[in-house]
Amino acid sequence: MTNKDIQNLIDKYLAGETSPAEEQKLALELQQYQDLPEDWQAVSMMLGELTLGEAEYDAIMAQRKEKPSALIIALRIVSSVAAIWLIGLFFYQQTISSESSLQSNEVPHYYTSQLSTGSTLKDVYTSRQTKDQLISYTQLRKMIYENK
Amino acid sequence: MTRSEFEHIAAQLRQRVLKVGLDFFSNKEDAEDAAQETMVQLWRYLEHIDAGRNVEALAVRVAKNCCVSMYRKQQWKTEVGDIDKQSMNKADAGISPQQQLEAQDTQRLLSEAMALLKPRERELFEMRQIEGLSTDEVAEQTRIPKPSVIAMVSAARKKVFTELKRRMKQ
């Protein structure tokens, strides 16, 4: 803020037209000077410690919002990397499963043998998982749809 | 404001200033210290507080000042470490004796200058200056039209400004 800006703000202050935010800004500006001109010193006294303290409080809070702490930055990086890794792993497993099923046109008996009256798709899927017979849920749904 | 009037609203005020401290420090221990210091400051200032006015707004401003003061001390202690015991004592005191004298002198000059204001001017001046209310809020609370509030606050500020300059020259 230039000296002219400060003087304009002081004139506005004395005219009773400044907002509390402008008064805080003025208090912070005047605090930075070592040897204030008499007029400015008087305004600084009038603004007082309460306005200055409030201005500093708000400035610190605003600064914190702009700049997250090192811990938060680290946590954000770790969580981003973990999310990317999990997504990659999911697609990798999907690809592996699809390739293995495409290698054979023959539909293994256990795909359909699990289905009986009242069985749900989830029951079959769960059963397949426990028997270590890997097949994705999507593949199973596709096969049921194709009536294989 | 009387002591009993203050005690009546103290619990509610404490909750409000504790919230200011928690927002600032993000830990309950420091927030409690700031709230305690705020309540002590308000207690000391009690005779100057008008019971009919917005005490909560003043309490929040005092709480913010206490938070900043504590924060500065913490920062200063972190920078200095435990090298110099005398310096640590100085940090505990917050400000130097010279700064304390200057602050007292400023407060005395300001009080003397404000004594020249008419009661209504003084009331509006303090609402803007001490409670930190906006012109709209002052107009709403006093039911005085906004242009009149601006005119009266301006007159009050110019009187105090002129008187302060006169006394500073002496």
* ipTM, 2 dp: 0.77
Q: What is the pTM of this model?
A: 0.63
pLDDT-derived band at A102, boundaries 50, 70, 90: low
Q: Name the nearest CA neighbour of B31 among B66, B55, B74, B79.
A: B66
Which stretches of chain B are DSSP H helices?
3-25, 28-44, 55-80, 85-93, 97-114, 119-129, 135-142, 146-169
Write out chain B residues lying below 8 Å of A46, CB-based: 110, 129, 157, 160-161, 164
Q: What is the pLDDT of residues A59-74, one digit of tens each?
A: 888 888 776 667 778 8
CATH of B95-170, one of 2.40.50.140, 3.40.640.10, 2.30.110.10, 1.10.10.10: 1.10.10.10
Q: What is the pLDDT of residues B103-145, one digit of tens each?
A: 778 888 888 899 999 999 999 998 898 888 899 999 998 999 9
Q: Any residues with CB less than 8 A from the CB of B38 and at least 6 apart, and which? A: B17, B20, B21, B59, B62, B63, B66
- Min CA distance, A118 vs chain B (Å)? 56
**In chain A, residues 126-145 whose CB comes closer than 8 Å to chain B:** none
Give Cα A102 distance to the centre of its chain.
40
DSSP B117: S
Put simply, the answer to whether A45 touches B61 (Cβ < 8 Å) is no
Q: Does B1-94 carry CATH code 1.10.1740?
A: yes
Domain boundaries, chain B: 1-94, 95-170
Put simply, the answer to whether A50 touches B164 (Cβ < 8 Å) is no
Nearest to B65 among A15, A42, A53 (CB): A53
